[in-house]
Amino acid sequence: MIELIHGEPSADTLKLLLCLHEKALPFTSRYVDTARLEHWSAAHRRLAPQGQVPVLIDDGEVMNDCAFALQYLAEAYPEPRLAPRDPRGWYDVQAWNQRIDAALGPAVSLIGWTRVTPPEARTAYRAALARVPDREQPAGWFAVLADAEASEDQLANAAEKIGELLAQVEQALGASNWLVGKDYSITDINCFACAHTLPRLLPERINAQQTPQLLAWLERIAARPAARAALATRRGPANVDAYAPPG
């Protein structure tokens, strides 16, 4: 039996929801309200010591690293296939996913959290988060995300990182409908989960003139039944994109 402990379908949660629905795997959904810091409760920290969300549990095995959990689902449940069978193809999947996880995900989260979440909600959340004991301090991009407020320079840097990676995505999609080889894969799932809100969040960079291949790819994935089912788990307003709070 598979269980998914998750919040709103922001990037990391959405990745696993998309994969589970694509494979038509039955699973139990357990919602955690991250805005209320439920992921820092004693019960949740027994599964994810640093408050990680989502957490995938399969037959008692706990996986609180989303990147590895996504790869696990691709291999543990091989049909329908969402990863290449050859070693070179697997290399390409992991190389793409590393870049997406290191650059695109944190940068989108930073801009989305800053521009979409109301200031009073951000202030209240950070005040509550600061009172959580035994919490590791984040590093790198995640330290910027956890700061009191992002500066304009930090937001501009995040937008630049997004633009650089999506230029690679645009080029790759010029040769194929999908990012790795000729088939839909967990790399497409990973990138879509991070990028699907960008036409609204950064319309000056993501638009029909500059990124036509990317927009067509986003539409192809959004039309899939699995994507519609995954996005339908949102509990917040349907017209407001979900961004995971920092920490």
Number of DSSP helices (H) and strands (E) in the chain, helices first:
12, 4
Average pLDDT on 94-99 reads 96
CA atoms within 13 A on the CB side of 111: 24
Whether residue 157 contacts residue 179, with contact meaning beta carbons closer than 8 Å, is answered with no
Average pLDDT on 40-69 reads 95
How sure is the predictor about 242, in pLDDT bands with cuts at 50, 70 and 90?
confident
- Note the Cα 35 to chain centre separation in Å: 17
Query: At 204, is the secondary structure helix, strand, or coil?
Result: coil
Q: Please, what sign has the CA dihedral across residues 159, 161, 162, 163?
A: positive
CATH of 87-224, one of 3.30.300.210, 3.40.50.300, 3.40.190.10, 1.20.1050.10: 1.20.1050.10
Enter the pTM of the model. 0.94
3-state SS of 161-174 is HHHHHHHHHHHHHC
pLDDT at residue 238, as a whole number = 74
In tens, the pLDDT along 111-161 reads: 999 999 999 998 898 888 888 888 776 655 556 555 556 788 889 999 999
Average pLDDT on 215-243 reads 92
Average pLDDT on 15-19 reads 98
Residue 68 CA to residue 81 CA, distance in Å, equals 17
In tens, the pLDDT along 199-222 reads: 999 999 999 999 999 999 999 999
Element (H, E) at 28: strand 27-31
Residue 91 CA to residue 82 CA, distance in Å, equals 14
Q: Please give the share of the chain, as a percent, with pLDDT higher than 70.
A: 94
pLDDT at residue 149, as a whole number = 67
Whether residue 21 contacts residue 229, with contact meaning beta carbons closer than 8 Å, is answered with yes
Question: What does pLDDT average to over the chain?
Answer: 92
Average pLDDT on 6-17 reads 96
Residue 44 CA to residue 33 CA, distance in Å, equals 11
CATH of domain 2-76: 3.40.30.10
| Boundaries of every domain in the chain | 2-76, 87-224
Residues, the chain = 247
Average pLDDT on 79-94 reads 95
Element (H, E) at 96: helix 87-99
Nearest to 45 by CA among 8, 5, 102: 5
